[in-house]
Amino acid sequence: MRRLLALLLMLAPAAQADVAVVVHAKNAVAALSPKEVQDIFLGRKRTFPDGRFALPVDQSSPLRAEFYQILTARPLEQINAYWARLLFSGQASPPRQLPDDAAVLKMVRENEGAIAYVDPKHVDHSVRLLLLLKP
């Protein structure tokens, strides 16, 4: 019975976990709301509230689907369709995608304007935790 239960748990879709939104350690911007994070990641806004240039960094890992699901309640294909419209009509380009949390955190450490999302367990003092997105 216990085995069956374990098997069922494995088959069920992974329970959604929190996603951490991080910025450069020196970024002094006040807390952002989920809507403000959404505006930056969907290319509607290109600056932080203090007027400084924001550089959103995306991921090509499975965390990407979770991040957009929590932030916009949309599956990835709808996010991709949204970007196809903007990109191929010359309005805006989607954020650069890096392979995983390690690459993303390296990018955030090296760019003062960077804003990214990672698994909360990978957040350390080298970056600043701005917002914890909960499903």
Q: Which stretch binds other proteins (CB under 8 A): 3-11, 70-78, 98-106, 120-128?
A: 70-78
Q: How far is the CB of 88 from other proteins (least distance, A)?
A: 5
Cβ neighbour number for residue 45 with a 10 Å cutoff = 16
Between residue 83 and residue 102, which ones bind other proteins under the rule CB under 8 A? Answer: 84-85, 87-91, 93
Write each residue from 44 to 63 as x if it is in contact with other proteins (CB under 8 A), else as -, in one continuous string. Answer: xxxx-----x----------
User: Which of 68/117 has CB closer to other proteins?
Assistant: 68
* C-alpha distances out from residue 18 to 6, 119, 120, Å: 23, 7, 7
Which parts of 12-118 fold into alpha helices (H)?
A: 34-41, 63-72, 76-87, 101-110
132 near other proteins (CB under 8 A): no
Region at 121 (left for phi over 0; alpha for psi -120 to 50; beta for the rest): alpha
User: Which of 64/128 has CB closer to other proteins?
Assistant: 64
**Rounded CA gap, 57 and 41, in Å?**
8
Instruction: Return residues touching other proteins (CB under 8 A).
Output: 44-47, 53, 65, 73-78, 80-82, 84-85, 87-91, 93
